[in-house]
Each structure stands twice: as structure tokens, then as C-alpha cells.
């Protein structure tokens, strides 16, 4: 083998080695690029997982806080509803007692032969007003009780609107009670006072008549001799 052939073979071998080196380097670069892309994807996936976990934790805490709030609201509503029921029973007792007293009073006035026609009509009106109060109060209490369930089942805005509507009905309750009080003071009470004045006047007239009768009897007893006196006088005359 001459020098030229040997030199050619060496050059060819070096060329092959150089080409293989470039190919290997290119492959390594490709593998390196793939590895970086994978790492970026893995990091991105990890960040997304953390973000999802964080959002889930926030949502869970928010739901837990909302549950606690609605439970507190339910407890307060339940307590307030108990107070409303006690007030309703109190109103029923107060107005029932008032009706009983007025009924007994009318009976005594009837026994005294007084005209109670207008009073009875006004008492019927009063009872209608009282029934309206009871009906409005029952509707208010029922609607207020409904907010206890809404506290946990409806949104915050929906619950707030329902609660506000329920509380607004207290104005009607106050209006009913004021109307009853005003009607009693302006109509029923003056009529009772008038009828009582009639009774007092009749009693006074009866007292005056009784005194006059007593005086008349006393005068008659003084001017008219008794049978015993007459007999004695006759005896004296005879004697």
C-alpha cells in the first residue's frame, strides 16, 4: 500500500469520524431539547396542579365559612321565631281577656235596661280588627320562619331579600295594633263612659226619689195621728 492510498484512507476515516461526531452531537441536541420541553411541561403541569389544589382549598374554606354563617343565622332566626310565637300568644291572651271583660260589661248594661245597640256594633268591628291582627301576625311568623331554611339553601342575596321582605311585615302588625288601640280609645271607651254616666244618673235619680219618699213618709207620720192616739184622746174626752 503506497503513501497516497494510506493518506486517502486516513482522510476518509477522519471524515467519517467527523460526520458521526456531528450526527451524535445533533442527536444529543435533539434529546436535550426534548428533555427541556418535557421538563417545562412537567413544571407547567405541577403549577396547574398546585393552582387547582389551591382553588379547591379556597373553595372548601369558603363553603365551610358559609355553612357556619348560615348555621349561626338559622340559630338566631329560630330564637327570634320563638320570641315571636310567645308574643303572638300574649296578644291572643290580652285581646281575649279584653273581649271577655267587654262582653260581661255589655251583659250588665243590658240588665240595666240601657241601649247597647251601637256598642255591640262597635265591639263587632273591634273583634274584626283583632282577627285581622291575628291573621297578619300568623302570616308574618310563617314567612319569617321560612327564612331559616333559606339561610342555607339560597344565595346570600336571595336570603337577604327574603329576610327583608319578612321583616317589612312587622310594619303591618304595628299598624294593626295601633288601629285597635285608637278605635278603642276614640269609639269604645267614650261609649262605655256615656253608658256608665247614664247608670250613675239613674242611680242618683233613684236616690233622690228614695230620699223624697222618706221625707214624705216622715211628714205623713207627723201630721196624721195614729189609731192609738185617737183612742186615747177619745177616752180623755169621754172621761
What's the confidence (pLDDT) of residue 3? Answer: 61
Phi, psi dihedral angles at 112 (to 5 degrees): -85, 5
What's the confidence (pLDDT) of residue 105? Answer: 92
Residue 236: pLDDT band with limits 50, 70, 90: very low
| Predicted TM-score (pTM) of this structure | 0.62
CA distance 99 to 211: 39
Return the half-sphere exposure (C-beta side, CA atoms, 13 A cut-off) of residue 136: 18
Higher-pLDDT residue of 74 and 11 is 74
Higher-pLDDT residue of 55 and 26 is 55
Mean pLDDT of the chain: 80
What's the confidence (pLDDT) of residue 176? Answer: 96
Residue 234: pLDDT band with limits 50, 70, 90: very low
CA distance 195 to 208: 20
* Averaged pLDDT for residues 74-82: 89
Amino acid at each position: 500500500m503506497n503513501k497516497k492510498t494510506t493518506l486517502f484512507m486516513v482522510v476518509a476515516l477522519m471524515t467519517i469520524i467527523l460526520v458521526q461526531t456531528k450526527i451524535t452531537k445533533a442527536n444529543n441536541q435533539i434529546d436535550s431539547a426534548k428533555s427541556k420541553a418535557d421538563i417545562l411541561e412537567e413544571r407547567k403541569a405541577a403549577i396547574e396542579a398546585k393552582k387547582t389544589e389551591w382553588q379547591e382549598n379556597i373553595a372548601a374554606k369558603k363553603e365551610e365559612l358559609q355553612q357556619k354563617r348560615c348555621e349561626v343565622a338559622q340559630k338566631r332566626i329560630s330564637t327570634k321565631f320563638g320570641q315571636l310565637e310567645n308574643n303572638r300568644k300574649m296578644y291572643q291572651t290580652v285581646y281575649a281577656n279584653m273581649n271577655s271583660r267587654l262582653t260581661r260589661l255589655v251583659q250588665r248594661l243590658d240588665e240595666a235596661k240601657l241601649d247597647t245597640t251601637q256598642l255591640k256594633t262597635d265591639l263587632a268591628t273591634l273583634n274584626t280588627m283583632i282577627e285581622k291582627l291575628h291573621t297578619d301576625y300568623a302570616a308574618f311568623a310563617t314567612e319569617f320562619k321560612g327564612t331559616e331554611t333559606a339561610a342555607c339553601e339560597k344565595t346570600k342575596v336571595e336570603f337577604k331579600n327574603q329576610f327583608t321582605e319578612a321583616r317589612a311585615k312587622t310594619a303591618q302588625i304595628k299598624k294593626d295594633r295601633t288601629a285597635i288601640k285608637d278605635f278603642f280609645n276614640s269609639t269604645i271607651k267614650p261609649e262605655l263612659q256615656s253608658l256608665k254616666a247614664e247608670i250613675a244618673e239613674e242611680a242618683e235619680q233613684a236616690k233622690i226619689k228614695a230620699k223624697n219618699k222618706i221625707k214624705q213618709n216622715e211628714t205623713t207620720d207627723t201630721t196624721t195621728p195614729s189609731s192609738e192616739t185617737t183612742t186615747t184622746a177619745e177616752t180623755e174626752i169621754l172621761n
